[in-house]
Every structure is written in structure tokens, then in C-alpha cells.
A and B are shown apart, each in its own frame.
Chain A
């Protein structure tokens, strides 16, 4: 099932990329990133079936890091929202220049 899994993984990943490029809401973009991470997890798991447990261990770590990242990222978004009253990324551009 390696080839099929990789196929699905690639498709999900690309969908995530398209979402990141297309959407303007910060939270939705964040969720698209999570989707990408999940796609990669699928690929790891599929490889683990062929090449050994290292793949699944890595998935473990990926999830952990994703959790940490989600926590911090959402905290940032909350802080941003408090200041700018919006999560529309096009209006959050004070870092320009």
C-alpha cells in the first residue's frame, strides 16, 4: 500500500498548500498547515510499514511538535486579534519594509 498511501499523502499536502495560498483568514491558514503536517504523517506511517518503526516514532514527534506549535500560534493570533481586531492577514502588515 505504499504507493497508494503516498498518493493520498501528496494530494492532501497539495490541498493544504493551495489552502495556504488562497485563504486570508489566519486561523484557516493555520489549519491548512496542520493538514499538511497530517499528510506528511501519513507518508511516514506508510514508510514505516516497509522500512521499520522509525517512521511511526517520527510521527509521534511530529504530533508533539504540532501540538506545541498550535498552542503558541493560537496564542499569537489571540494577541494579534486583541490589538488589531482582525485576523485578516492582508491587514496585518506592520512588518512591511
Chain B
């Protein structure tokens, strides 16, 4: 894959946000308090949004902040607060050291396998766009149009189904969250 010459500004910020994302994720996984963990996850998502923008997916970046960080994580925090699970001392203890080491080992193994796979299987060359094609497309059509066009043409069926899915989810959430008569 031919590389476009990228300015240092770009590369530096890419690595910066990537690093912060990883560090935030590690911190998120190791927090005892669910609230702190959720907030670190929010931070991770912000960094990812920045990465999306750097990768010519501005719309997705915006959506990430609006939907993921702004709605989903807020719902999480709502539930944590609702159930009064925020105190670090009660639950949220991770398993023992042995388990952690085993999990770490499994994780490393998974990482190794993914690396091997991505190195060995070179993506199909003939499907590649010209470098910089996406950037020019966005420059001409704007940030949203390139996403919307396939969404409403090629993937229309999936779009419609997604709306049904959301309906089902809403109904399900309401039903499940309902208080029954004898619940305390």
C-alpha cells in the first residue's frame, strides 16, 4: 500500500490520542469503583473520536461523541447511580491474582494471534482505493454525504431493520425495567 506523505502534526496527534486511549482503557479496566471506571471509558471514547476524525471519518467521530459517549455511557452512569453501586468498597473486586495472570496470558496470546493474522493475510489489493481518495471525496461532498449515500441505497434494508431493532430494544427495556408488584 503506497503511503501518502503525512505531516508530523498528523502523525504525532495520531499516536498521542492512540496512547491516551490505551492508557485510559487500562485504567478503566483496573478501577475498583464503577463510576471511575465509566468515566475512564468515556475518556477512551473521546480519544477514539479524535482518531476517527484523523482517519477521515468526521461524521463517525461526531456520532461517537453524541451517541456513544453522550448517550450510552450516560445510561450506564444512570444505572450505576440508580442502583447505588458507586462505592468502591462493596463489589467490583476483580478475581484473585492467579486469575489475573491467566487472563493476562490469554490476552497476550490473543494479541499475538491477531498480529500474526493481520501480518500474514494481506488485504486484497485490487479493492484498494487510491490513496487520499476518501479525503478528496469528503472535500467535495462534505462529511455526511459519503456516509449517507450508501446508507440509504445499498444498505437500506439494514437501515430499516435497525429501526425495528431499536423499537424492540425500547419495548424490551421498558418491559424488563418495570417494577413488578412484589419487587421491593
Q: Do chains A and B touch in the complex (CB under 8 A)?
A: yes
How far apart sit A35 and B144, CA to CA, in the bound complex (Å)? 25
Q: Which of B1, B147, B150 contacts A50 (CB 8 A)?
A: B1
Given contacts A22-B94, A60-B147, A65-B162, are A35 and B179 in contact (CB under 8 A)? Answer: no
How far apart sit A67 and B80, CA to CA, in the bound complex (Å)? 17
How far apart sit A49 and B93, CA to CA, in the bound complex (Å)? 40
> In this complex, what residue of B is CB-closest to A76?
B176
Q: Which of B54, B93, B150, B172 contacts A24 (CB 8 A)?
A: B93
Chain B contact residues: helix, strand, loop or mixed: helix
> In this complex, what residue of B is CB-closest to A19?
B29
User: B128: which A residues are within 8 A, CB to CB?
Assistant: 50-51
Besides A12-B44, A57-B151, 18 new A-B residue pairs in contact (Cβ under 8 A), listed by A number: A4-B18, A12-B25, A13-B110, A16-B25, A19-B28, A22-B29, A22-B94, A23-B94, A24-B94, A34-B41, A49-B56, A51-B127, A56-B146, A60-B151, A64-B166, A76-B176, A77-B79, A82-B183
Interface residues of A (CB under 8 A from B): 1-2, 4-6, 8, 10-19, 21-25, 27-28, 30-32, 34-35, 38, 41-42, 45-54, 56-57, 59-61, 63-72, 74-79, 81-83, 86-88
